[in-house]
Amino acid sequence: IGSIDDVQAMLAELGISDPLPKFDAASVTTNPIDIFRSYVAEEMSKITGVNRELLYPALEWTQNMEKGDLILAVPRLRIKGDPKALAAEWVKQFPENKYVLPPVAANQFIQFFFNPTLLAQLTIPSILSKAGKYGANHSGAGKKALIEFSSVNIAKPFHAGHLRSTIIGAFLSNVYEFCDWEVVRMNYLGDWGKQFGLLAVEYEASGSEEKLNEDPIQHLFDIYVKANNRVKEEEAQVKDGVALEGESMNDKARAYFKKMEDGDPKALELWERFRELSIVKCEKVYGRLNIKFDIYSGESQVSPDTMAMASKIMEEKGISEDSEGAKIVDFPKHGYKKLGKAIIQKKDGTTLYLTRDIGAAIERHEKYQFDQMIYVVSTQQDLHLDQLFTILKLMGMDFVSKCVHVNFGLVHGMKTRTGEVVFLDSILDEVGEAMHEVMKKNQDKYQQVENPDEVADTIGKSAIMIQDMTGKRINNYPFDIKRMTSFEGDTGPYLQYAHARLCSILRKANIPMPLIHTADLTLITEPQAILLLRTLAQFPDVITNTLKTLEPTTIVNYLFKMTQLLSSSYEVVKVVGSEENVARARMALFESARTVLSNAMKLLGLTPVER
């Protein structure tokens, strides 16, 4: 079903020879619902006199199947008269046809229900033939998205904010790629700043070559803790009036970082090693989540020349000003009352987080010429990104209109048994083990799993991810291992269970795939089956909607609705034991459900299990 002609041929085979009306916004080859939408929009345009291209987008999909498959809010058409009366009048004029049942006027709405047989005949073959691509559209063709996510800090603890950024960023990358965007996945490491001076000074004093090679992230973190404790001790000493012996830790760190910023090769050598070892370790852990970054960039990679150039523009345009030897931007002066003041250059000439982000954005635009750039960063940095985007705008960098901040709330209580989360590794291990314990509780099923450790690890990862993606991004949530590893309720394990159960039906029914693909779909008649079918048909619209909301929950919520329908249909829509032709048709429906579930799970970053 690659072209509109294919769709037309398919309709002809089903006894519809009238040419399908064409709409700019329709994507009939990727979205079966758009076939119905095109027909209904054309007829409604004739009836109402409203421009057809305006009518088309007014036909919205519904969250609640009882309200129809498509719904038209009459007031949206801005036609004089009582919307209720118009709705009642128009449904009477709607012609008899093969696409939809007679429309229903409900108050000021008109509800359209698809003809279930035609829906089955258009949707199921589309799902089965498109398989892994069902749900996708081509909206990103020829376009490039740079997605920056995870962006961990070397030598600092990995925190929940990084976990969320990793999960949401990987998800967005998958969805964009699914819809034909060229995606650049970028990890913008926190690998620059005074803390590296601190780290180097402490490493030279008490670090161990051996430990660094063994587990760089752990060792650097230990050094980091040590260094910070030393700073605190010194501060306490000074407070008590005790003189320090020699230079303070902070002064040494500052001097070291200054050397780094000045490009001193010796100072840079150590830092370079820290960075490289950390990246190697990061790659392994991201690999456990099937995430691969195209680029490990970082704060250190921003060129001083770019920052100097940016600084010059800011000065010339009167965006920045001097303040006690430092350079600042006083946002209220430029009409941005809520953004306060921000330092962009310290007294000693060194740069800051914000300065580096300004340079990084400019360089990324030059290098990648993106159509969209997404920053997946916690709401705690709303102000920072707002300041960044505003500075770029004031500088006249038009590409700022292509930049998006995808933010998210906090996770409470993400700790491992030992308390400190140093890296993602430890969280994945711990949830995997908890998952394994839960699985053991059902010995019957547990015995059937060939590689329980691996499956527990996979389902454990699903547990973490789905817990993270169930609510809206902006919401905070508690990290609750017991709840997330449950097979009941809206959890990752529940989705995995639903997938495994569909695989099991397929195995037990043992019907060869070609017979499933050629099943007589008019035999799908039970209300539960039709409800499921109508939900499966919505998947391409769910994807389109996700590209608008940039919310994983748009898909997760849909999946929970779909899998609940699934589980209530098993009792009635039996495959095993049914008459052969009926069994084949039902299997086609369930295999379609499995495809949708699997596609959606993969977009979310999950690996669907078969048992």
**Catalytic residue numbers, as ranges:** 156, 159, 162
Looking at the DSSP bridge assignments, the partners of residue 320 are 329
**166 versus 320: smaller Cβ distance to ligand ARG:** 166
Of the candidates 42, 202, 222, 357, which one interacts with ligand ARG according to CB under 6 A? 357
Closest C-alpha to 589, from 127, 61, 66: 127
**157 versus 452: smaller Cβ distance to ligand ARG:** 157
Instruction: State the minimum distance, in angstroms, from the CB of residue 150 to ligand ARG.
Output: 9
**159 versus 602: smaller Cβ distance to ligand ARG:** 159
With H, G, I as helix, E, B as strand and everything else as coil, classify residue 240.
coil
Q: What are phi and psi of 487, to 5 degrees?
A: -85, -5
**Which strand (E) or helix (H) includes residue 374?**
strand 372-376
Instruction: State the minimum distance, in angstroms, from the CB of residue 159 to ligand ARG.
Output: 8
Instruction: State the minimum distance, in angstroms, from the CB of residue 471 to ligand ARG.
Output: 22
Instruction: State the minimum distance, in angstroms, from the CB of residue 299 to ligand ARG.
Output: 8
| 375 binds ligand ARG, rule: CB under 6 A | yes
Instruction: State the minimum distance, in angstroms, from the CB of residue 378 to ligand ARG.
Output: 8
| 370 binds ligand ARG, rule: CB under 6 A | no
| 377 binds ligand ARG, rule: CB under 6 A | yes
Q: What is the DSSP string of 545-573?
A: HHHHH--HHHHHHHHHHHHHHHHHHTTTS
CA distance 325 to 124: 69
CA distance 457 to 262: 46
- Residue closest to ligand ARG when measured from CB atoms: 190
Structure tokens at 274: 């820290």
Q: Which of residues 130-149 bind ligand ARG (CB under 6 A)?
A: 148
**150 versus 311: smaller Cβ distance to ligand ARG:** 150
Rg (CA), the chain: 29
**84 versus 159: smaller Cβ distance to ligand ARG:** 159
**153 versus 554: smaller Cβ distance to ligand ARG:** 153
Q: Which of residues 426-445 bind ligand ARG (CB under 6 A)?
A: none
Instruction: State the minimum distance, in angstroms, from the CB of residue 287 to ligand ARG.
Output: 21
Structure tokens at 55: 């009518």
Of the candidates 153, 470, 491, 535, which one interacts with ligand ARG according to CB under 6 A? 153
| 355 binds ligand ARG, rule: CB under 6 A | no
Of the candidates 188, 221, 274, 423, which one interacts with ligand ARG according to CB under 6 A? 188
Cβ-based neighbours of 403, under 8 Å, separated by 6 or more:
361, 372, 373, 374, 375, 389, 392
| 150 binds ligand ARG, rule: CB under 6 A | no
| 224 binds ligand ARG, rule: CB under 6 A | no
CA distance 464 to 466: 6
| 310 binds ligand ARG, rule: CB under 6 A | no
CA distance 370 to 402: 8
Place of tokens 């498509």: 70
Number of chain residues interacting with ligand ARG (CB under 6 A): 8
CA distance 259 to 480: 45
Question: 10 Å Cβ neighbour count for 194?
Answer: 18
Of the candidates 135, 169, 190, 197, which one interacts with ligand ARG according to CB under 6 A? 190
Q: Which of residues 89-118 bind ligand ARG (CB under 6 A)?
A: none
Instruction: State the minimum distance, in angstroms, from the CB of residue 148 to ligand ARG.
Output: 6
Per residue in 257-286, is it b (16+ CB within 10 Å) or e — as a string?
A: bbbbbeeeeebbebbeebbebbbebbeebb
Instruction: State the minimum distance, in angstroms, from the CB of residue 139 to ligand ARG.
Output: 26
**41 versus 163: smaller Cβ distance to ligand ARG:** 163
**Cα angle 352, 354, 357; round to 5:** 110
| 158 binds ligand ARG, rule: CB under 6 A | no
Can you give the binding site for ligand ARG, defined by CB under 6 A?
Answer: 148, 151, 153, 188, 190, 357, 375, 377
